[in-house]
Amino acid sequence: MTWIVGVGVGFCVMAAVGAVLVVVARVLPPGRAKEVVGFVPNCVVLLHRVRRDRRIPWRGRVALGAAAGYVASPIQLIPNVVPVLGQIDDVVVAAVALRYACRHLPRASVTNAWPGDPAYLGRLLGDRHLTDV
């Protein structure tokens, strides 16, 4: 029964952090601070858009699904009830899955799917992982 409370608290913390990031990203003026705050919401948008692309091989789809499952799962390396650290492992898992899946897509497709500054996309995925195909 106590794990249900932990899951509920973890979900509430994760939802609150996400909501604050989205609101702050919309309120800040254009610039570096807005991109840094909007990084996680931009990753979520990229994950959603890339997941729908039919050119990703099945291994990439499995990686994205596993990352989504890990983020949604109450069983994690660092539980989400631990402030900040609990969310950092989720971001790392999502970034690794995005990097793996986007490696098999053309550069133009990934750049078009990214809603933020392309420089931050290069930092997330690494320029050498984006193909010109």
pLDDT at 131 over 50: no
The pLDDT value recorded for residue 75 is 81
Q: How confident is the model at residue 57 (pLDDT cuts 50, 70, 90)?
A: confident
Residue range 57-61: average pLDDT?
86
- Residue that wins the pLDDT comparison between 8 and 61: 61
* Domain boundaries defined on the chain: 2-129
Q: What digits encode the pLDDT tens for the residues 1-16? A: 677 777 777 778 777 7
Q: What digits encode the pLDDT tens for the residues 96-128? A: 888 888 888 888 888 888 887 787 788 777 765
Q: Give φ, ψ of 132 to 5 degrees.
A: -95, 10
The pLDDT value recorded for residue 52 is 84
The pLDDT value recorded for residue 25 is 67
* Non-local CB neighbours of 50 within 8 Å, separated by 6+ positions: 56, 64, 98, 101, 102, 105, 110, 113
